[in-house]
Structure 1
């Protein structure tokens, strides 16, 4: 069993840390938010006053933070050539940021993986996340037993940064799916089509997607979807916008024309600007309904 420092105990990091504790690992955690610290402590995490202190006796440091700048600050505060460690960043950050961090960590004698996740808060709690991992194959094999505790699907995607690359691509697809699903549902409503009939046909036909079968943006057809809870987020619209901005930055860097990605990014930017960033990203259907 390992001693793990888990930095960032929020909606995603907290449940992930709790699953590591449940598997028998010692987890020393840190977060700047008191509520997150309290929840983590209740699940068996040893809550420590600083990130540096949490990492002091840890062989593995996992970061789950809002952006690449914060990940870099935390790693800088911990990184020491005298204490080589395995760093696993499960945050969603830019590909270039992940590659820069990997270079810094390896130069100091430690190992680094970028391992962003998909599956939302429910997946973090259930231990069913999908991990997409970039970094050396031997480092991936070292980390895989821990990732298997927190996720159902753990995929090595190649070189450092490739985890972030596939995360950007995946969430661009998801955003486009959620928007076109919302448009189709609203079109069906206006044509007099019952939501259940729509779901029964499309979920078993070529138009099916995770956006419908798991995250249907109308109540009752999928009882666990956020639409049944007034769009209390599993994955907030503001986070979707963040990921779309990363995808658009990558598209610009690689001279890739992402026509639908740009449209999705603009629609979610407008939705968040209107004050809906705290809702689940599937609430974009409300914006579609408002449009004539």
Structure 2
């Protein structure tokens, strides 16, 4: 159901010539959210931001964003607000605490959660938002930190068609592909399935390159062969886990930045839980979950998930 009693207020940005929201809230300025918020500013939208990390907030206020004192403050005078947070509990807290989003969002405000969480949590939040006359969509993303920086993310959106259309102009300032996946929660389903496949393919890529190197094959030669053959995939071609094959990826930067091992393990855990509820069999997804949990246990939780290559090599 759409609770808007009047059209959203747009202004025309002189710099871009595009429609801009008069004010946007953004909560969660981590590796992904910080770049996403910066791209919102670049497109001419006025922005107010909140994060528990003061440095992350300062990085945005220096380029034109306003500072919010709480999640509630970030949403109380906006038409649309986004959240980009690490886990189920973070999202539930930000939306439901005393100074949370649902406590101060005006009737008709559109809330977009781009966190990767349990689909059931998104559906629960949508019901709570509906009680307050607030609109909600889930819009997790794919593409990683580089795509967040370049504004080329893919958004997988769950919600009504009306709310999808309302969210689309803002999402287009951060992404190159905006896909309506169905009702609330279906964006999360698409994201969890995608990330499970990504984890499996990254482990397979790491195994193949480790084996090739152990047998004496130059990994750059192997990369050239794989990426023009049937083994080609995103993990081998655009995010190769072997240091030195690609320059602008975490493996060539000591596995810093990017998509952390702990976050991949979290997403695999969500996929595991969803599979149990749906009575779906995911043997490779379950094994990938175990492998990433093992990497965490050895102390490498903050490394990029492509660190699985070093894990298979026996490197700590």
TM-superposed CA distance for 1:219, in Å, is 2.2
CA RMSD of aligned residues (A): 1.4
**TM-score, with structure 1 as normaliser:** 0.96
2:33 paired residue number: 13
| Structure 2 gap segments, 5+ residues each | 1-19
Q: 1:49 aligns with which of 51, 54, 69?
A: 69
**TM-score, with structure 2 as normaliser:** 0.89
1:119 paired residue number: 143
3-state SS of paired residue (1:288): helix
TM-superposed CA distance for 1:50, in Å, is 1.4
3-state SS of paired residue (1:28): strand
Kindly provide the CA deviation profile for residues 127-154 of structure 1, in whole angstroms up to 9, marking residues without a partner as x.
1111111111111011111111101111
Q: C-alpha distance in 2, partners of 1:83/1:255? A: 38
| Structure 1 gap segments, 5+ residues each | none
1:257 paired residue number: 281
Q: 2:216 aligns with which of 174, 179, 192?
A: 192
Q: C-alpha distance in 1, partners of 2:296/2:223? A: 27
TM-superposed CA distance for 1:81, in Å, is 7.8
Kindly provide the CA deviation profile for residues 16-48 of structure 1, in whole angstroms up to 9, marking residues without a partner as x.
111111111110111111111111212321112
Q: C-alpha distance in 2, partners of 1:90/1:233? A: 19
Higher helix share: 1
Question: Superposed, which structure 2 residues align to 1:105-254 within 5 Å?
Answer: 105-254=129-278
- Work out whether 1:59 is the aligned partner of 2:79: yes
Q: C-alpha distance in 2, partners of 1:288/1:121? A: 24
How many pairs are equivalent? 291
1:4 paired residue number: 24
The list of structure 1 runs, each at least 4 consecutive aligned residues, that deviate by more than 4 angstroms after superposition, is none
Q: C-alpha distance in 1, partners of 2:106/2:311? A: 54
